[in-house]
A and B are shown apart, each in its own frame.
With several copies, the nearest count.
Chain A
Amino acid sequence: MRNLFRRALPLVSGEAAQEAAPELWVRCGRCREMLYAREWEAAHRVCAKCGFHARLTVADRVALLLDGGSWQELDGSLRATDPLGFAPPGRQSYAEKLATESRDSGQNEAAAYGRGSVDGIPVALAVLDMGYFAGTLGAVVGEKVARAFELGVAERRAVIVVSASGGARQQEGVVALLQMAKLAAAAQALAAARVPFVSVLTDPTLGGVTASFATLGDCIIAEPGAVIGFAGPRIIEQTTGEKLPPGAQTAEFQLTHGMVDLVIARRDQKAAIARVIRLLMGGTALQASAAARDHLTAATNGATTMQPVPALQGFR
């Protein structure tokens, strides 16, 4: 599935560009500009010339969104099993494929989750990783994201999930499919507890991830240019024979079609997420006990004078 997206998207990922000139320079995956690697990294892998947002690792996302030193990964030791005994003749078995993915990516699964804080606000963060098995949703990814939601319920922490996925992991069959139901249920548990869920959609977010938790956010933030949809571009073109128009299924397309709240460039994401959580959690105080109200007021007072984030309306 990973190769599928490499082929389907007109963009070469940032990692690939970096391999070509590992020391000092990288080439932008969209405009082909040569960029000074250190500046490019400092700009969170956003091209200074064309604004292309190259793919990030889990560590990059944590650095982008969380307060320094606040990240505490949980259950990083969970590993996939092979529930179907998926070993079709002539193809790599699931067990072999898992080993290959781990070796190639240096990761051990397509998601990580844990505790952290954003502008001092405690959150649960889960990040999906396109670098491992195309970010596909299997039992381990499902378990980690579900535990992130449950952490949100247990500790009344706002939950942030950064999605990047090709969809359900075929090799786990119905077990993968049912992760969608499990995660929608877990997101509902968070909703019932009235704790905010901010969903961040990055390139690409497709299939079973789009069709379950990723679109259930109270606030949905998309990264500029990210391809977001249920059926991926290749599936649409193969199934219907339609040729997709330019810009179809991008973050900007989804904003126009009413599907996401905000398209926000990387550098502004942390401030916007903090503001959204502060405002949504500020309201909860009304319904909560006086003690909880005092606590929440104290937590949010520090930032009431912040000015509106200028980029919030910038992507129409």
Chain B
Amino acid sequence: MTVLLDFEKPVGDLRTRLDEVERAYATEPTSDLERQRASLKADLAARTQAIYRSLTPWQTVQVARHPHRPQTLDYAIGMCTEFVEFHGDRAFGDDRAIIGGPARINGRAVMIVGQQRGRETRERLERNFGSPHPEGYRKAHRLFQMAAKFGLPVVTMMDTPGASPGLADEERGQGWALAANLATLATLPVPIVCVVVGEGNSGGALAIGVGDRFLMLEHAIFSVASPEAAASIVWKDSKHAPQAADALKLTAPDLLRLKLIDRIVPEPVGGAHGDPSGMITNLRTALSDELDQLVAVPAADLVAARYAKYRRIGAWFDQGGTPS
């Protein structure tokens, strides 16, 4: 079953017509139908490319949240020749909104940690729609420390509407869990590559998103808050989410331009949801490339460079003196 986003409607019509022509051609393979088919195919590709080249920020948000978009487990299983999912924070529970464990990418053992939103309703409920509880972040923390112990590079994949905001989460110290992860990642003595594979909002994304290299898939988003949350703060009305998406500069190209991320991983034409295995290949290639470079750097240098990288972030001017 295909899910069509609003702005994909023109492509949807084309695809329907192409399907009809394909069926007709199967029954009666005329040269006219063959020409029509070729022309429709070319048209479809061109239109798709055109649409995805000029997505608005709000349209990008829709793509980043597409129900058929590959998720962390798809990448962990698709990219890796070995993967063992480890469970639990050893103190309270096993949060299924965060998954992780040791894995092997292109022959190299790594530690994978990422949010998992789930796909059908039941899985989405079990995984709290990818909004982790404190015990999820504490599981991640345990895995980060295990990676450091065994010298495993860390690969994190962000895909979350944000950390879970329930009263129970507050009771178990959501803010404390997030902060502990930021602190631990800041000085973890192994290479860390972070990728936003879908939606990466707020401290809930950042708590597994501090490292040496920060990547975004082409149509992923990364933001201080979800557009809806930002709209209800700035406009006092979450209906202004599209305007907020515009203003927040949450797309990969905008963030690369602002030098707030390091690299964009290209998506197949029409987005990752149209070609998951193509996307998995693209991500594996990008990660292998990044890891190849990082493993050559001594751990102390990595950590020092990581500090310098985050320390630099933020522009201000000094009214009384020299601008920074």
Contacts and interface: CB of A to CB of B under 8 A. Distances in A.
Given A244-B167, A284-B151, A279 B82 contact: yes
A34 interface: no
B214 to A, nearest CB: 9
Given A4-B233, A262-B84, A184 B318 contact: no
Given A177-B224, A275-B82, A259 B103 contact: no
B90 interface: yes
Nearest to B161: A239
A230 B132 CA distance: 13
A81 B94 CA distance: 42
Nearest to A309: B84
A278 B108 CA distance: 11
Contacts of B260: 174-175, 178
B314 A181 contact: no
Contacts of A187: 183
Nearest to B173: A259
Nearest to B108: A282
A1 to B, nearest CB: 6
B116 to A, nearest CB: 12
Given A187-B183, A280-B102, A306-B81, A215 B89 contact: no
A65 interface: no
Contacts of B151: 194, 283-288
A196 B151 CA distance: 12
Nearest to B295: A286
Nearest to B107: A304
Interface in A68-119: 75-81, 83-84, 86-91, 108
Q: Which of A80, A91, A215, A272 has the most CB of B within 10 A?
A: A215
B317 A81 contact: yes
A240 B109 CA distance: 40
A192 B187 contact: yes
The number of chain B residues touching the other chain, given as a range, is 35 or more
A286 B183 contact: no
A314 B153 CA distance: 27
Contacts of A219: 84, 86
B320 A77 contact: yes
Given A174-B255, A255-B94, A281-B150, A208 B89 contact: no
A249 interface: yes
Given A178-B313, A179-B314, A279-B104, A272 B84 contact: yes
Contacts of B244: 88
Contact of A258 (B77, B173, B235, B307): B173
B213 to A, nearest CB: 14
B46 interface: no
Contact of B167 (A179, A242, A313): A242
B182 A212 contact: yes
Interface string A182-216: 10111111011010100000000001101111111
A185 B188 CA distance: 11
Nearest to A288: B151
A260 interface: yes
Interface in B85-138: 85-96, 101-104, 107-111, 135
Given A179-B314, A185-B310, A256-B94, A262 B86 contact: yes
Contact of A304 (B82, B92, B313): B82
A168 B176 contact: no
B318 A77 contact: yes
A187 B313 CA distance: 16
B130 to A, nearest CB: 14
A194 B179 CA distance: 18
A214 B82 CA distance: 26
A264 to B, nearest CB: 10
12 contacts: A79-B319, A81-B316, A140-B314, A174-B250, A184-B210, A194-B150, A215-B173, A229-B170, A230-B175, A256-B93, A259-B90, A309-B84
Interface of A: 1, 4, 75-81, 83-84, 86-91, 108, 138-140, 142-143, 146, 168, 170-182, 184-189, 191-192, 194, 196, 207-208, 210-216, 218-219, 229-231, 235-236, 238-240, 242, 244-245, 248-249, 255-262, 272, 275-276, 278-288, 297, 300-301, 303-306, 308-309, 312-313, 316
Given A185-B210, A219-B86, A286-B153, 16 more contacts: A1-B233, A174-B260, A178-B206, A180-B182, A181-B182, A185-B183, A208-B203, A216-B183, A229-B170, A235-B229, A258-B91, A259-B88, A262-B86, A279-B84, A286-B190, A304-B107
Interface of B: 77, 81-96, 101-104, 107-111, 135, 139, 146-147, 149-153, 163, 165-167, 169-176, 178-180, 182-183, 185-187, 190, 202-203, 206-207, 210, 222-225, 229-230, 232-235, 240, 243-244, 246-250, 255, 258, 260, 295, 299, 306-307, 310-311, 313-321
- Going nearest first, the 10 A-B pairs with the smallest beta carbon separation are A77-B320, A139-B314, A282-B109, A258-B88, A283-B152, A231-B165, A210-B175, A184-B182, A230-B175, A279-B102
